[in-house]
Amino acid sequence: MTDTAIGVVLVGARRLMREALKAMLSAETNIRVTGEAASIPEAAELVRSLQPGAMVVDIPMSDTRGIDAIARLLEGSPRPRIVALTQRYDPYLFDLLLKRGVSGYVLKSDAGAELARAIRVITQEKFFFSPDVATNLAKGYGAPNMEQKPAAEALAPRERQVLTLIAEGRRSQDIAARLRVSVATVEVHHRNIMRKLDLHSVAELTRYALRERLIPLD
C-alpha cells in the first residue's frame, strides 16, 4: 500500500456484495477501500468525511428510483468519480447514469477483471465502460441513425470544446470555469450542439463523441 493509493468507497444494499468487492480490491497495491455504505444518503456522508477519489455503486436493475440520489454524491468538492456496477447493459439506465455524472459502467460479470482498471481510469478524468458496453456504444446501440449524424467538423471550434467537456461528464459550471465564459454561454453552446447534431441526451452526445474520438475510452 502506498500513500498515493486511490481511496474508494463501496456503496450497495447487500453486505455480501460489498465484502466481495472489498476482497477483490484489497489485492490491488494502489487502491484502498476507505469506507462502505448501504445507501446513497449514507454514502453522501462518507464523501464529505473521507473525500474518496472514486466510488463503486451497485445499481439494482429492477429499481432506478435511487439513481436520482447519485447527484448528492457529486455536490461536494472534490467530487469523486463514480463507477456504476450493473447486471447488464441497458440503454435507458446508461442514459440516466451518465446524466447523473457517472464516469464508469461495469458489468458485474466483468467486475473481477475490470473493476480495478475502471477505478484507475476514471480517476484520470476518463470514462471506462465494460467491453460489451463499449462495443454497443461504438455501434450506436440505442441511438438510431447515429451513423448518419454529421461529423464533428460541422461544429464550431468552441462547440467542439464544449461537446468534449460535456461528454467527459463535466457540469456547466465546471465547463464555464475552464473556458472562462459564463454558464449561460455554455448552455447556449450545449443547445446549439444538440440542435446541429440532432441529439437529445447526454448519452447520445457521449456516443457521438466516442464515434468522433473526441474523448478517450480505455
Beta strands of 70-195 (E only): which ranges?
A: 81-86, 104-107, 128-129
Diameter of the chain measured on Cα atoms: 50
100, three cell numbers: 447523473
pLDDT tens-digit readout, 185-196: 999 999 999 888
d(Cα 11, Cα 13) in Å, to the nearest integer?
7
207, three cell numbers: 456516443
* DSSP assignment of 76-92: SSSPPEEEEEESS--HH
Residue-level pLDDT, tens digit, the chain, 218 residues: 445 889 999 998 889 989 999 999 988 989 999 999 998 888 888 888 888 999 999 887 555 556 766 766 776 666 788 999 988 888 777 877 877 778 899 998 888 778 999 999 999 888 888 888 877 766 654 444 444 555 666 788 899 899 988 887 777 888 999 999 999 999 999 999 988 888 888 777 877 887 777 776 55
Instruction: Give the chain's domains with CATH numbers.
Output: 6-138 (3.40.50.2300), 146-211 (1.10.10.10)
Amino acid letter at 138? A
